[in-house]
């Protein structure tokens, strides 16, 4: 399912970066990217800012559910302000 933010041609896919914060705690970062290259670029920015150990980067084109929240798997890229 694709969720449109505004009309456009490029579809962005949900990616989740799993990281190790400490010996006992892990965390995750969610973001949308056009492709793996874009996802890797965003991952590097996150890791530079947070200095966590990278565990895994996974694509979720069908979305992801966290507790009572659903993150759509794909969105339209045009008009998406977070993709800079």
Task: Give tens-digit pLDDT for 10-64.
Answer: 889 999 999 999 999 999 999 999 999 999 999 999 999 999 999 999 999 998 8
In whole angstroms, give the CA distance from residue 33 to residue 7. Answer: 17
**Longest distance between any two alpha carbons in the chain, whole Å:** 44
State which residues form the domain around 15. Answer: 2-71
Q: Is residue 41 part of a domain?
A: yes
Note whether residue 83 is domain-resident: no
Number of domains in the chain: 1
Cβ-in-10-Å burial (0-12, 13-18, 19+) of 75 comes to buried
pTM, two decimals, is: 0.75
- Domain assignment of residue 76, yes or no: no
- CA torsion 9-17-59-35 (nearest 10°) is 40
Judge whether residue 8 has pLDDT over 80. Answer: no
Kindly give the pairing relationship between strand 26-33 and strand 74-76. Answer: unpaired
């Amino acid at each position: 399912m694709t969720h449109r933010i505004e009309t456009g041609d490029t579809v962005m896919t949900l990616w989740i970066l799993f990281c190790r914060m400490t010996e006992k705690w892990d965390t995750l970062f969610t973001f949308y990217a056009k492709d793996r290259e874009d996802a890797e670029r965003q991952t590097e920015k996150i890791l530079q800012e947070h200095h966590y150990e990278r565990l895994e980067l996974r694509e979720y084109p069908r979305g992801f559910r966290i507790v009572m929240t659903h993150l759509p798997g794909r969105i339209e890229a045009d008009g998406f302000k977070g993709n800079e």
